[in-house]
Structure 1
Amino acid sequence: MEKQDGIIMPTPKKVLVVSGKRKTAVARAIIKPGVGKVRINLTPVEIYAPDIAKAKIMEPLLQAGGEVWQQVDMDVKTSGGGYMGQAEAARMAIANGLLKWTKSTHLRTVFSEYDRTMIAGDSRSKETKKFGGAGARSKEQKSYR
């Protein structure tokens, strides 16, 4: 508790909210001081399935090292897209959250040398379907014979 102008104010807690996007998937990570709990949609990352998505999400944590992320708790909520798009969005949110929490240039270089899309993201997404055909570019055939 802090005293300010004779009024007792609670000490402010450091909480970060960071987002990550991939295709149509969006992940929002809430990062606060803690003991190293990482949860994706209220599921601990240790038991998250499928395993390939869990491996993607764990990449920034393994690159950062235990001493960095063991002092924070992360709650990541994902929505939209498929399981792999959600995993990559969560991975981006975790990496950017760790960068903002630590303000470390060394960590930024480690992430960018490993995989730049952890920080910058991947802007590719599905091309929208247009009229006159089945997909984005295909057109219905016609014959004049």
Structure 2
Amino acid sequence: MATHTSGRRKTAKARATVKEDGEGTLRVNSRPLHTYRDMFESRVEEPLTIAGEEVFGDLEITVDTEGGGIQAQAEAARMAVARALVDHTGSDDLERDFREYDRNMMVEDPRRTETHKPSQSSKGARHKQQKSYR
């Protein structure tokens, strides 16, 4: 039985699929995790180290990410993996462990970029042109 979950961070999205009867592999965007940068790899592996080898030992986890930057994709993938492990095991203790370690493993951050207001420059959402005659 496969478990499907998702995670979002800013504009990045990640979808994780957990299948049983695997060899304990984790692939991100159809590539093994160890081919990514150290920062990305360490972020995505955090839920696995907290859960322990007994949970992850025979699972095959596939994560697909899109949008945002590499940091946001890593955070979204971390959230998707953590949610997938909790859904797959059905363990309230595991969810509590994730929340105690870092709440953002289970809960999305609702902050998004503010939309630009009309008749203003492109420097920011509330930036206005300066005037020199006051």
CA distance in structure 2 between the partners assigned to 1:41 and 1:85 by the alignment: 15
Corresponding position of 1:126: 113
Identity of aligned residues (%): 47
CA distance in structure 2 between the partners assigned to 1:123 and 1:62 by the alignment: 26
CA distance in structure 2 between the partners assigned to 1:128 and 1:43 by the alignment: 35
Corresponding position of 1:112: 99
Aligned-partner residue type, residue 26 of structure 2: V
Confirm or deny that 1:69 pairs with 2:66: no
How many residue pairs are counted as aligned between the two chains?
131
- The TM-score with structure 1 as length reference comes to 0.85
| Alpha-carbon shift at residue 16 of structure 1 (Å) | 1.3
CA distance in structure 2 between the partners assigned to 1:108 and 1:70 by the alignment: 18
CA distance in structure 2 between the partners assigned to 1:109 and 1:141 by the alignment: 51
Corresponding position of 1:144: 133
Deviation sequence 1:78-131 (CA, Å, 0-9, x none)? 000000000000000000000000000110111011001000122222222223
Residues 1-145 of structure 1 mapped to structure 2, 5 A cutoff:
14-33=1-20, 34-48=22-36, 50-131=37-118, 132-133=120-121, 134-144=123-133
**Quick check: which has more Rg, 1 or 2?**
1
CA distance in structure 2 between the partners assigned to 1:46 and 1:110 by the alignment: 25
CA distance in structure 1 between the partners assigned to 2:112 and 2:57 by the alignment: 34
- The TM-score with structure 2 as length reference comes to 0.91
CA distance in structure 1 between the partners assigned to 2:48 and 2:115 by the alignment: 34
| Alpha-carbon shift at residue 47 of structure 1 (Å) | 2.6
Which blocks of at least 5 consecutive residues in structure 2 are unaligned? none
| Alpha-carbon shift at residue 53 of structure 1 (Å) | 1.5
Which blocks of at least 5 consecutive residues in structure 1 are unaligned? 1-13
CA distance in structure 2 between the partners assigned to 1:45 and 1:122 by the alignment: 24
CA distance in structure 2 between the partners assigned to 1:24 and 1:63 by the alignment: 26
